[in-house]
Chain A
């Protein structure tokens, strides 16, 4: 079997495992929906990592997507419409901000993103009469495509939406990375001037990846808001951006499955750590990351794919 085939098979197996786990334990459905949403956001981060750029501010788009849902939900209480609205809103925001930040590289790129996300965080916190500050906004119960649902079927629907979006974005990212535009991303990482000599605008290449990553983070934010049904400015805080980068490292940036493996591992480790020792979960999470950095540089996906390749050679 070829590599893409194996990846697709693994993705479908993973999706099936998630559905089974969610069926077996109702509360895991919630955790896994969040994991899928974060995986989608991290997929966007991974596109930028391909170009060697680390964004420490993508929580901005997650929060923007989530607050779009929270603000529009009272007048438009439908999950499908809200998801589209959040996707549109974050794409436009990503384009506007991307026009500016795609001129910068490396530490400047990372820090500018961080700065902008913290500006947004402060706005959410300080425009108290509109955003309700740190108390956050409650998302009312939503219909899906006009159909009112009870709690359990609503949770399943959002879980399904997250799964479909994750698969869709995963396939899209795979095609995108294989396309000339995606290949040019790696060229930005190795040597950018070569792109210019080939007559390819490196700024436009990075901009396209940036807008895509904003779109993905926005969809993730919308899913998070529709799942946890309460949004707070903490979604835009720098630790939330750090969490996304953490997941990217944990999962490995090598393939499109990495972000989802990382997100699922992250959420599950956190939940199980918090359940075993409520006040030590940070230490356990930190230890896991240290182990990954020290012994598995390619992340979880790196471990898996090397195992697969060895299997094929043998």
Chain B
């Protein structure tokens, strides 16, 4: 095929109808030539409730792609993005995944915010032999239930993301005796509670669970739950909710002074801080699904973090939240993998299989730290947990007394099942938690 033949998306689609025979050989077998562009498929939520994460993720991807292309691309090759909306459901998503791989011939897929989407896309990527980076989804099941050669995760998973806030609570406020949980009634809400409960029973046996509240997914009113929690007076209230539901819950709980009676643990609240403003009082525990925080106390490269935050704010008029950092991690890993694969291939462009081979053991920069992808494909990401505080610099609550958990401490060892591993934890683990860092 002459190199001048570069069909646009619409022409390629029209070719589908015009029954022009496209070569059906998969690129895994094709000899690798230096392409004119690296095509990246990104599945994210562009509509529906989870678009509170999906749209910032897309924004970050567009910003990063532009920056990469301005600086000459990845090893001299510019990148081009293709977005897929996850909202219509699995069959649409899987169809689009195939279209991007088989028709648009993308070089890599960045898959999914929703765990269900990831569970469907990962085996498909494996079957199509296309490198699939799990950029944001939470489920820990992926690499614990199967081995993959083409799928890698450039972030942590639910286990460290829930274990870290629990350890933080045990370190900073160890004397609680009762706990209540309010999670969204769907897989993440249930999974995260199972992880917390298993770990809590191992690390601090005897805590009484006074209420397990699972309001329906997409609920818009929590007044009944707030009343119940006011009456039960638990020492700790855990909620792994996110998005509009977390915002509403925080506001309704604040209006009725629930925050004065109980300590809240909100592992995903970093993404809501700017939206809820000062409704979220000081003294409650907040996490960010990783070490993502625009005021990170000890970033590996302070200038890089500041540049990322400022560029994002300038373009989108909001502080970056965790999906944007996750997207940056995926891009950074991809860049590092291409460099590694090209070096391993004697300076030639890598095939899909060669690119995939570069990921196990790969090290790359995240906006806040240096990360590694483990041999089983799981990313090792530090976890940052802090306590809210109000100050004059920000019109919303920010984190103080931050603990940055090293990933080796809180991540399930390779080849083990998370729930079984959590059962083996002992109270001694709390002594190994690093000391909190005061905000600068």
Interface residues of A (CB under 8 A from B): 20-21, 23-28, 30-31, 34, 125-126, 128, 132-136, 138, 151, 224, 227-232, 234-235, 240, 267, 270-272, 274-276, 278-279, 281-282
Contacts and interface: CB of A to CB of B under 8 A. Distances in A.
Lowest 6 CB-CB distances: which A-B pairs, in order?
A230-B120, A24-B19, A279-B46, A133-B187, A135-B187, A25-B16
9 contacts: A24-B21, A125-B186, A133-B187, A134-B186, A267-B95, A271-B99, A276-B9, A278-B85, A279-B46
B406 to A, nearest CB: 29
Question: Chain A: interface secondary structure?
Answer: helix
Interface string B167-196: 000000000000000000111101100000
B284 to A, nearest CB: 27
A128 B92 contact: no
A274 B92 contact: yes
Nearest to A234: B89
A136 B120 contact: yes
A135 B9 contact: no
B88 interface: yes
Nearest to B146: A138
Contacts of A136: 90, 116, 119-120
A25 B22 contact: yes
Report which residue of A31, A240, A279 has the largest number of chain B beta carbons within 10 angstroms of its beta carbon: A279
Interface of B: 9-10, 13, 15-17, 19-22, 24, 46-47, 82-85, 88-92, 94-96, 98-99, 101-103, 114-116, 119-120, 123-124, 127, 139, 141, 185-188, 190-191, 217
Nearest to B188: A134
Contact of A234 (B90, B115, B127): B90
Given A133-B190, A136-B120, A278-B84, 19 more contacts: A20-B19, A21-B16, A23-B19, A23-B21, A26-B102, A27-B101, A30-B95, A34-B91, A126-B185, A132-B187, A134-B217, A136-B119, A138-B120, A138-B123, A229-B94, A234-B90, A272-B13, A276-B9, A278-B46
A151 B123 CA distance: 12
A24 B22 contact: yes
Contact of B16 (A28, A151, A240, A278): A28
Given A24-B20, A134-B187, A276 B10 contact: yes
Given A25-B102, A230-B90, A271-B96, A135 B119 contact: yes
A135 B116 contact: yes
A136 B89 CA distance: 11
A224 B95 CA distance: 11
B349 to A, nearest CB: 24
Contacts of A275: 9, 13, 96, 99
B110 to A, nearest CB: 14
Contacts of B101: 27
B186 A133 contact: yes
B89 A282 contact: no
A5 B83 CA distance: 44
B92 A279 contact: no
A136 B116 CA distance: 6
B84 A274 contact: yes
A27 B187 contact: no
A279 B99 contact: no
A53 to B, nearest CB: 26
A20 B19 CA distance: 7
Contact of B24 (A20, A26, A31, A138): A26
B120 A228 contact: yes
B19 A26 contact: no
Contacts of A31: 95, 99
A270 B186 CA distance: 27
Given A27-B99, A274-B85, A228 B91 contact: yes
B120 A25 contact: no
Contacts of A282: 47
Contacts of B83: 278-279
A224 B91 contact: yes
A59 B375 CA distance: 42
A24 B18 CA distance: 9
A227 B91 contact: yes
